[in-house]
Structure 1
């Protein structure tokens, strides 16, 4: 009964998101487009953190790779958006495969530090290789001529781009949910809890970690590919190590043990940032205080704490 209610609430939220452009000001269309993109970014990160138990500080590298791929293809080849998204996922996955090949050999803090090192390398290349990436100025001036598949969509319209982003994020989230609920996902959870026992069962822990790392990189690249047309620019800041901290915070804020937790965390993070910056220039101070209190008093994340209370209510 409670599970059915929660499913109904999720469907109601999706229906509300679909209807958002019909009643909300354009400002909130932009805000919720950002929430959807960062939510997908955080969910992709949580596949390696919440499910596999690997803390990465270089996840923004794949996000930025996706953004740069889309920006370059739109600027130089004028591809339909759908094709650039596929290319961005492929190149981000390839980058994750190369980096992950070295990183998954280590664990715990050594893994985290190595991902940070690779992330800083990727950022430095994007910042310094001016002939290709245009350096700190980034790549701008591109336009989206069409979506692809013969669909006549005005991609320059913020409401249309919001609906396209919503559809893509929902499909991507469903794919990640199926992965997390599959036997592969169960093995990832087992690796997080006890990798030695999984290895004793005859499974190659390193291979599963690498597969998780690559899948997370692919969907982080998709999120970055959606962000570039949204911002109208792909810059090195999208690869900076500080951006890699955002999905960490969003996942913890929403609840790493729950699939929808990172989405809730992304919504809280972006909305708090938006509202606080409208009142004060010292927004980082107040945002830090609010987030610290939420993390302290919601030990399983906001969604996790609520679901625990809901499931235990009247039991």
Structure 2
């Protein structure tokens, strides 16, 4: 098979999909809700990794596009009564266009300057959402989002989310494993050399930013429907920090690593909050562990263990 994922990878993906499809059969509403949210954050983290893992930049403001997609979908569905298909499409297009505008300015810079500019734009979005009470609800949030009857039930919404996220992940896979994705990796490894051979590094990074923002907007749009509301905290810098930690925890040099990190961190938060109120402390220790002992994340650790096992045989 010429597919770069390989036979074992395809089998693992099919088994994962089968497992996800059977979650509602467990009969637990709580489990369905947790799985739905993990799917949303997995897509969110995978979108961020286009910027971090592929183009080699660090974004501290990715929550802005998550919030833009969420608020756009919530407002169009509820305030204007648009159909789901039209509202979802418009939300994605709006996020794509706005991320393109932000990318125009951010890609002029690199390293810490790029990161700080993304943070600045994210806080600008947060301020607009916070102050524009007549449209967004301000700090009270935009509540009571209307969703079609067919996906009102949590199980139906779960399968709807699974379908959208699976399709989005497949598109991201194709993008990241295309010539465009390989060019981004070349830029990440050595932007100067890539420029010498004729690659327009700024344009490639601009496209990476737009792709990442677009899929983050889709994740936000699903999030707004799932929670039947959108809240100002979704655009705050802490949301950007959370998805960044998810990406690092899973492994930014693996395509599926951020999704693994999203699931791990989300479950760790749920379990920790069951027994203690010190989740921020646990999060801090988690981040230190990643930086000191798991530079390649959980996916990198799994690969090292696999290589060790293979050599041992």
User: Same fold judged by TM-score > 0.5?
Assistant: yes
- Post-superposition offset of 1:104: 0.2
Instruction: Find the aligned partners of 1:4 and 1:182 in 2 and give their Cα distance.
Output: 19
Q: 1:210 aligns with which of 184, 193, 206?
A: 206
Contact kept in structure 2, 1:78 and 1:144, CA below 8 Å = no
| Change in CA separation of 1:11 and 1:296 when aligned onto 2, cut-off 3 Å | farther
Q: Which moved more, 1:81-90 or 1:168-177?
A: 81-90
- Post-superposition offset of 1:312: 4.5
Q: 1:101 aligns with which of 93, 101, 104?
A: 104
Q: Which moved more, 1:295-304 or 1:159-168?
A: 295-304
Please tell me the root mean square deviation across aligned C-alpha atoms, in Å: 1.7
| Matching of residue 253 in structure 1 with residue 246 in structure 2 | no
| Matching of residue 47 in structure 1 with residue 50 in structure 2 | yes
| Change in CA separation of 1:102 and 1:200 when aligned onto 2, cut-off 3 Å | same
Instruction: Find the aligned partners of 2:82 and 2:34 in 1 and give their Cα distance.
Output: 26
Instruction: Find the aligned partners of 1:194 and 1:290 in 2 and give their Cα distance.
Output: 30
- Post-superposition offset of 1:29: 0.7
Aligned to 1:29: 32
Contact kept in structure 1, 2:248 and 2:290, CA below 8 Å = no
Contact kept in structure 2, 1:84 and 1:225, CA below 8 Å = no
Normalised by the length of structure 1, the TM-score is 0.94
Instruction: Find the aligned partners of 1:314 and 1:266 in 2 and give their Cα distance.
Output: 28
Instruction: Find the aligned partners of 1:311 and 1:3 in 2 and give their Cα distance.
Output: 17
Aligned to 1:112: 115
Q: Which moved more, 1:108-117 or 1:298-307?
A: 298-307
Structure 2: give runs of 5+ residues left out of the alignment. Answer: none
Aligned to 1:302: 298
Contact kept in structure 2, 1:276 and 1:287, CA below 8 Å = no
The number of equivalent residue pairs is 308
Post-superposition Cα deviations, 1:257-281, rounded to whole Å, max 9, x if no partner, equal: 0000000000001000001101112
Aligned to 2:233: 237
* 1:173-188 alignment runs, 5 A limit: 173-188=169-184
- Post-superposition offset of 1:303: 1.5
Q: Which moved more, 1:125-134 or 1:110-119?
A: 125-134
| Matching of residue 89 in structure 1 with residue 92 in structure 2 | yes
Q: 1:164 aligns with which of 160, 167, 172?
A: 160
Instruction: Find the aligned partners of 1:283 and 1:250 in 2 and give their Cα distance.
Output: 15
| Change in CA separation of 1:291 and 1:114 when aligned onto 2, cut-off 3 Å | closer
- Post-superposition offset of 1:298: 2.5
Q: 1:63 aligns with which of 66, 74, 80?
A: 66
- Post-superposition offset of 1:80: 2.7
| Change in CA separation of 1:8 and 1:41 when aligned onto 2, cut-off 3 Å | same
Post-superposition Cα deviations, 1:200-233, rounded to whole Å, max 9, x if no partner, equal: 1112111111011011110000000000011111
Structure 1: give runs of 5+ residues left out of the alignment. Answer: 147-153
Shift >6 Å, 4+ stretches: none
Aligned to 1:191: 187
- Post-superposition offset of 1:291: 4.7
- Post-superposition offset of 1:95: 1.0
| Matching of residue 278 in structure 1 with residue 274 in structure 2 | yes
Instruction: Find the aligned partners of 1:75 and 1:202 in 2 and give their Cα distance.
Output: 48
Instruction: Find the aligned partners of 2:258 and 2:117 in 1 and give their Cα distance.
Output: 24
| Change in CA separation of 1:156 and 1:247 when aligned onto 2, cut-off 3 Å | same
Contact kept in structure 2, 1:253 and 1:295, CA below 8 Å = no
Q: Which moved more, 1:282-291 or 1:90-99?
A: 282-291
Aligned to 1:228: 224
Post-superposition Cα deviations, 1:10-53, rounded to whole Å, max 9, x if no partner, equal: 21111010010011411111111111001100000000100000
